[in-house]
A and B are shown apart, each in its own frame.
Chain A
Amino acid sequence: MKLRFQVNGQAVETDVAPRTTLCDCLRDHLNLTGTHAGCEHGVCGACTVIVDGVAVRSCLMLAVQAAGASVVTVEGLADGDELSPLQEAFRRHHALQCGFCTPGMLTTLHALLSDEPAADEERIRDVLSGNLCRCTGYIPIVEAALEAREHYAKKQELKAG
C-alpha cells in the first residue's frame, strides 16, 4: 500500500504491506532506526513516537494508520547538531546507560512536557511508568525531566506570547 505522511517535518512516501507496523515502517522502510522495538506488544514503550502531538506505541499502530499524520521520532528531537534541553538533561543526569529505552523515554517526555510543562514528579513518574528501563532505576530519568521542564515552560510562554 502506498503511504504518505510527515516524519520529523519531512514529507515521506513509502510502500508497505498492510500488516506493517508503524515501528517497522520507520525502521525498515525509512531507515529511522532510532525507534527501537523492545517487546512488540505495547508494554515496554521503547518504540514510542509522537503522532500529531500524541505519544503512541509505534509497535501497536499500523503504518497505514499514520497516513497524512505528522510523526516525530527521536531523530527529530535535536535542533540540528545541538541536543535539545531534554537530551542535554539526560546526559547531565546520566539518565541512560545502554540507550535502548532512551528514544521512547525522550519521546514520551517530550510529548508530556510540551503539553504539561508544569508536570510534577508524581505526574512524570506516572506517565513514565509506561516505559520500561532496566539500567537506570528511573531516578536520573525523572531528575532530567524535572530539570528540563523550565525550557518547555519558556517555549509555551513564547507560543502564547
Chain B
Amino acid sequence: MRSVNTYIGRPIERVEDLRFLRGRGQYIGDIKREGQWHAAIVRSPAAFGRVVKIDAATALKMRGVHAVITAADIAKPVPTIPFRRKNPTIAPYAQPIIAAGYVRYVGEPVAIVLADSAELAEDAAQDVAIEIDALPPCVNWQASMAGTNLLFPGTTTNIASTFTAQCGDAAAAFAAAPYTRRERFSIQRHTALPMETRGLLAEWHAGDNRLTVHGAAKLPFFNRRAMAGMMDLPETSVDYIELDVGGGFGARGEFYPEDFLVAFAARKFGHPVKWIEDRREHFTAIGHARQMDADVEIACETDGTVVAMRGTMYVDIGAYVRPNGMTPVRNVIQFTAAPYRIPNLDFTGHGVLTNKTPAGTYRGPGRFEGCLFCERMIDIAARELGIDHLDVRRRNLLTAGDMPYTLVGIAPEDGFGDTECDSGDYRVTLERCLEEFGWDEKKALAGTLRDGRYHGIGIGCFIEGGASGPRESARMEITADGAADVYVGSSAIGQGIETIMAQIAADALEIPMAQVRVLHGSTNYLKEGFGSYGSRATVMGGSAIVLAAETVLKAFRETAARTFAVALGDISVSGGLAHARDGRSMTLAQAAALGPLTGEGTFSSDKRTYTYGTAAAHVAVDPKTGAVNVLDYIVVDDVGRAINPLTLHGQVVGAAVQGFGSVFSENLVYDADGQLLVGSLADYLIPVATDYPHIRAITLEQFPAPHNPLGAKGAGEGGIIPVGAAVANAIASALSAFNVQPTDLPLTPPRLWELIEKARTAQAQPRT
C-alpha cells in the first residue's frame, strides 16, 4: 500500500455513473436471447388451503403458449430452499419451490406458464384455473401461537424457532432495582422495495450440461450451491451471472422459488427462459420484513444506571422460513441493548409462522426494531426518574475502555459467530451529534406550541454490524498493457462497488485508477466467493483485493529480479515500476509480457466490525391532524475509515430517508382472510422528494477497525437503524405535555391524532 493513498479516502466520482447516466446500464430486463421464452408465475389467490386441482387446458390452447409447469411436473419430493444458517427446529418449515399440496400465502407460486412473450404468458396465467379447498388462515402471530391451527401437518407448533439471549442474572437485577418499567411495542410489516423488480434469465447448455442464470445479486455463490443441489448438478456446472442491479437493501438476491422454476423450465425445454417480476407480484413475492411485537422491560438505579433489560419479541415471519428468515429474530434479541453496557439481559425471540408472504431481511434487520425499543425505553425511564435522558445515555454507552466488548450470546448457536464490539467510544458520536444538531439551542423548543404545531427533539444511539465472515476472495491479473483486471467475490447492489474496489486496487498496486477494471459478482470469475450482505462488501472484498495486490507485487519483484539478474532484495516497487539499485526499471506491462502476472487473495475474518453512531431529530406535530414534519435530522457515525466519502454519505442519507418510510407510511396491510391489500406503489407509500428535505450526515474516522488492513467498518445499513428511535423520541418530546409515548409504527397522522386525543381526554377527566 502507498504510505499516502491517492484514491482511498477521496470522494471519487463513480465509474458506474458513466453508463447509468447515458441509459447504457444493463439490467436483467435489458438482455434477451435468441429463441427465448417468457415466464409468468401463477400465484395462489388464497392464504391457506389444499390444492385440489390445477386446470391449464384453456391456457395451453392459447396462441404462443408452450407449456404450464406445476408441482406434478417436478421431482417428488418438491425441493425446498436451503437455509443460510443452521437451526435445530426450522427444517419442516422450508419453502418448497412450488406449492405442493398446500398453499400457505397469497402469492405463493402454483404454476409457471411459458410463452413467446411476457404479454402472452401473463394472459395465459390468468386462464390457469386453480381449485383450492380453503382453510382458515392465521393472519397474526397471536392466532398462530395459540397452536390450534397448524400451518404444517405433522408439526406441533407454528413457532418455527425460539432464540434466547441471556447474560448476568436479569431476574435478580429486576427484583433488586429501585425502578423498573415495562412497555409494549409494535412494528408493521414492510419491505425493502428496490426500484427494479426482480428478474431472471436462465439458459441450459445441453452440450456440456451447464446452467447459466443471469440476474444474480447479493450472494451468487450461495445461490449457485443451492441451485446445483436442487438440480443434481456439480456446483461448477452452474453459473450465476450478475448484471447491473436496481437496488437490493437485503431483499434482492436471496434464493427465491422463481430461481428454481425459471432454471427448471430452461433445462426442461432447452429454451432460454426470461422472467421479470411485475410490481404487483413483487409485493406478494419478495421478502417482507420488520413485523414484530415486543414486550420490553428495563431496570435502572435512580441515577439512571441501567442494570438490566429483558423482554420477548414476537416476529411474524410469514408462511415459510426463507434462507435468512431467522436473521431478524436472532438479531433483535442480540442487538436491542447493543450500544450500552448493561450487565443483565434476558431476551426471548419467537419466529412465528403466519399465512403471509415469508419474511427475510431488510437493511438493518432486527437492529432498526431493537433500536426503537431500547431508545424509547431509555427516554421513558429518564422522564419517569426525572433525569436528563442524555445523562442516562452518557452513563451507559460503551466507552473506549470497554473495548473490545462482547455482546450477549444467543441460543441456539446459529453459526453467526463472534459478536465483539471492536473499537470506538460511543459517547463520541453522541456529543458530536448534539453539537452539530444544536441540541442546547433547540432544547427550548421541546414541548412548545408554535404556529399551531408542537415541537420536539429526540435522540437515537445505535451500532451497526458489518464485515460478515467467513472470508472473501479476489484475483488480479495484469494485462499486456499494464492495466489490472480485478475479480472480486463481492456483488453489486447499487452501492458503487466498481468505484470503491478500483480505488482500493489502484492504491494497493500504486497505479492510476483508470487502469483498473473491476469484475465482480458472477460465479465464473472466482472459485469461491460470498457476496454483499451484512455490510461486508467493502471490508471483506476490499481487504481481499489488498492481499491479492501484495501477491501481484511480490511476483512483479521476482520477475524484475530474474530479468535483471539481481537479488530480490535489490528490487523495490513503487508507482507501478520495479526499480533495480543500478537504475534499471521495469513497468507492470513489461513484466506481464514476460509471463502471467497474477495474484490471488483471500481475506478471512470471523471478527465483525461495529460502526456506531447517534441520530437526532427535530419534529413538529400538528395536533389537529396528527401530521409530523421533520424539520431537521442529523446522523453522526464513526466508520473507522471511509474509502469513498461521497458514496458513503450517499449510503447514510439514503438509508435515513428509507427509515422515514418505515416510521411514517410504508405498510403491507393484510385483511382477516390473509389477502394483501397493497397492490401498487399508489398503496405502498415510500418517501417522495417533497417529504424529507432536511437530512444531514457526518462521518467520523476516529476509531479504525482493528481487524482488517483497511481499518474500515461496514457502513451500508447504519443510516436506517436509529430513525424510528430518534423520530419517536422527538414526537414524545413534542407531545410531552400530554405524556404521549409512541410505541407503535407506522406513526401515521390518524394514529398520532388518536394518541393525542386519548391523552387529552384522559387529562380532562377529573382525578378520583
Contacts and interface: CB of A to CB of B under 8 A. Distances in A.
Interface of A: 17, 19, 27, 32-41, 43-44, 46, 73-75, 77-78, 83, 87, 90-92, 94, 96-103, 106, 121, 124-126, 128-142
Contact of A99 (B193, B244, B650, B681): B244
Contact of B650 (A36, A75, A94, A125): A94
A82 B180 CA distance: 65
23 contacts: A32-B23, A38-B246, A39-B680, A41-B279, A46-B195, A77-B22, A78-B21, A78-B22, A83-B18, A83-B21, A91-B13, A94-B14, A96-B20, A99-B19, A100-B246, A100-B247, A103-B23, A132-B195, A132-B686, A132-B688, A139-B657, A139-B693, A142-B693
B646 interface: yes
B194 interface: yes
Contacts of A103: 23
B247 A135 contact: yes
Contacts of B695: 137, 139
Contact of A98 (B13, B23, B247, B690): B247
A137 B654 contact: yes
B650 A91 contact: no
Nearest to A135: B654
Given A35-B23, A132-B686, A139-B693, 14 more contacts: A34-B23, A37-B29, A39-B279, A39-B680, A40-B278, A74-B23, A94-B649, A96-B20, A132-B195, A132-B681, A135-B247, A137-B657, A138-B692, A142-B693
B20 A41 contact: no
B680 A138 contact: no
Given A32-B23, A134-B658, A140 B650 contact: yes
A141 B695 CA distance: 13
Contacts of A19: 119
Contacts of B493: 98
A75 B21 CA distance: 8
Chain A interface helix/strand/loop/mixed: loop
Interface residues of B, number: 57
A97 B693 contact: no
B226 to A, nearest CB: 24
Interface of B: 13-14, 16-27, 29-30, 119, 193-197, 244-249, 278-279, 493-496, 646-647, 649-651, 653-658, 680-682, 686-693, 695
A60 to B, nearest CB: 13
Q: Top 10 A-B pairs ranked by shortest CB distance?
A: A34-B23, A98-B494, A99-B20, A137-B657, A100-B246, A74-B23, A43-B681, A128-B689, A33-B30, A39-B279
Given A78-B22, A106-B21, A136 B650 contact: yes
Contact of A94 (B22, B197, B647): B647
B692 A134 contact: no
Nearest to B719: A137
Given A39-B279, A125-B690, A136-B650, A97 B496 contact: yes
Contacts of A134: 193-195, 247, 249, 654, 658, 686
A142 B694 CA distance: 12
Contact of B21 (A37, A38, A87): A87
Nearest to A76: B23
Which of B18, B688, B693 has the most chain A CB atoms closer than 10 A to its own CB? Answer: B688
Given A97-B495, A100-B196, A126 B650 contact: no
A65 B493 CA distance: 36
A29 to B, nearest CB: 12
A77 B654 CA distance: 26
A35 B23 CA distance: 7
B29 A27 contact: yes
Contacts of A100: 25, 27, 194-196, 246-247, 494
B690 to A, nearest CB: 4
A95 B493 CA distance: 16
B527 to A, nearest CB: 28
A33 B29 contact: yes
Contacts of A36: 27, 29, 195-196, 246
A101 B195 contact: yes
Contacts of A74: 21-23
A135 B193 CA distance: 10
Which of B16, B25, B656 has the most chain A CB atoms closer than 10 A to its own CB? Answer: B25
A38 B680 contact: no
A134 B249 CA distance: 9
Given A41-B682, A103-B23, A94 B689 contact: no
Contacts of A138: 657, 687-689, 692-693
Given A99-B25, A129-B690, A135 B14 contact: no
A102 B20 contact: yes
B6 to A, nearest CB: 20
Given A136-B654, A137-B653, A137-B656, A125 B246 contact: no
A141 B650 contact: no
A42 B687 CA distance: 16
B21 A97 contact: no
A129 B689 contact: yes
Contact of B279 (A35, A40, A77): A40
Given A41-B279, A43-B680, A97 B29 contact: no
A87 B657 contact: no
A131 B20 CA distance: 17
Nearest to A104: B195
B23 A75 contact: yes
A19 B120 CA distance: 12
Contacts of A133: 195, 689
Contacts of A75: 22-24
A62 to B, nearest CB: 13
Contacts of A91: 13-14, 17-18, 21
A125 B247 contact: no
A136 B693 CA distance: 12
A136 B653 contact: yes
B22 A87 contact: yes
Given A94-B649, A98-B493, A44 B195 contact: yes
